[in-house]
Homo-oligomer: A and B are copies of this chain.
């Protein structure tokens, strides 16, 4: 079975050394109640739960998968129900929830670390509570008092779960063309009809009710994305006293057979005049949904981090055990027929690529979480606004760059196993298949890149990026540590500044330029962000004693020498622009289907 030990020391390094959270929390009256003793206890509890309860059902979840029985009944794999019950009863789903409705009010900087552990040990399982957290966020932000009263407490308690019903067969990225209709019933409710696909947790056997958040169009809604409203559509209608009433007219029509995350039920949901209630104002549904999406996109980055962490730990263990050939310098285990492959520089290169990406992505997710907390809890309106702008800039990077690098890292770790990585027995191929989805859903990574370069850079003429670059340069200039990461980060910042200016000056003439450059631009940004994170980690570690801290500096060396050089390649590819793609006639891509 796969091994896992939660990287609690690394997590505490983030909290205490890099981000000095107690200072941050105490300087903010809405967070002053959070203390590290409690947080430590929380982390230790989740370390146990994830290792002892979620990891053991990770493989069976994949082998068995969720099952569509008949008549809309969907069952989760063996063990998921018991694990979910334990998970919900321990209060994990409401950890970051609003205390007014029974949540525990912990900041994202804490909940993201627990989410990481859940994603690390069982990506498919993680999605069930995760969607509930997302749906509660959306209801909390956009719902009426009555809606919050009706749903939130039960959702925080995990008695009811939540979904996001956006995609339709013909409408994924382009939600403006959805067809699902919402017709007023005259009593304040709406009759929702339509088919939604790819609905994570649309049906399952874990909770007594499922609360669907559904995007639909009212009869006279304007065309496109400006005519989308959001509805809450429960599987069982909730009576006035909070008990469950009649079964709503909605059902799962089938589930998808997927490459991975097979334990997660991905449903086709049919709504047939199902009763729903509007959330927020008419035609503002997309904005409401994006409250949740932006918060969740950071969490998708954590899925990537989780896959990387599990892949790394298992690959490192294998590399220590597996004997093959001899070390290049001297025989290490003369009593054995071969030395373990951990002595090979190339094996270490693959492992360190994963570990450097894991540590940088954890740090980056923490950094974004801090901005999210600042924007949510700060009493200083300017600070909150600045943090929100930073979140807007970094969210697409947190989603796309983290998951792209994570997929690469899981493939590297699989490679460490040679042929043993390709067979099911060792679990590595499952990690690769599971992690792959994180690059696709919640807005495919190409869409994240368009969001970054189009909305977050071009629309404000690079202002968010200039502010971010100023912060980075300021931090690096004030560093006490003497380490190559300083110069490397400054150079990366210069690269991004030049690149941003070049792109901005180009897009006026070339309408395809944003679309054609976005992905490589995002990757260049991603490497800069990771450089900044390593600079922070080096600064936090350089003056402390012990191997643990010395290794942080060595990992930064590895990043500078063996990962960061890719930033130049991405910058150069951006400079080549969109012409190399758009010069082709459409007919070039025609496929003779016969």
Contacts and interface: CB of A to CB of B under 8 A. Distances in A.
Most buried by B among A256, A436, A585, A589: A589
A572 B568 contact: yes
A490 to B, nearest CB: 17
Contacts of A257: 423-425
A171 B420 CA distance: 12
Given A345-B581, A547-B585, A580-B561, A258 B423 contact: yes
Contacts of A497: none
A528 interface: no
Contacts of A558: 580-581
A173 B171 CA distance: 48
Nearest to A443: B418
A260 to B, nearest CB: 8
A3 interface: yes
What number of copies of this chain does the assembly contain?
A: 2
A579 B511 CA distance: 45
A513 to B, nearest CB: 8
B346 A449 contact: yes
A568 B560 CA distance: 15
A345 B557 contact: no
B591 A345 contact: no
A505 interface: no
B518 A346 contact: yes
A576 B588 contact: no
Interface string A567-594: 0110011001111111111111111111
A566 interface: yes
A433 interface: yes
A445 interface: yes
Contacts of A258: 422-424, 429
Interface in A107-151: none
Contact of A514 (B197, B328, B584): B328
A319 B589 contact: yes
Interface stretch (A38-46, A152-160, A336-344, A458-466): A336-344
Most buried by B among A5, A352, A419, A594: A419
A572 B497 CA distance: 21
Given A259-B432, A561-B576, A569-B569, 13 more contacts: A170-B337, A173-B325, A197-B419, A256-B424, A256-B425, A317-B591, A346-B449, A346-B450, A346-B519, A349-B519, A418-B444, A422-B437, A568-B568
14 contacts: A3-B593, A173-B418, A256-B425, A328-B511, A328-B514, A329-B512, A346-B449, A346-B515, A346-B518, A418-B444, A551-B584, A554-B580, A566-B566, A566-B573
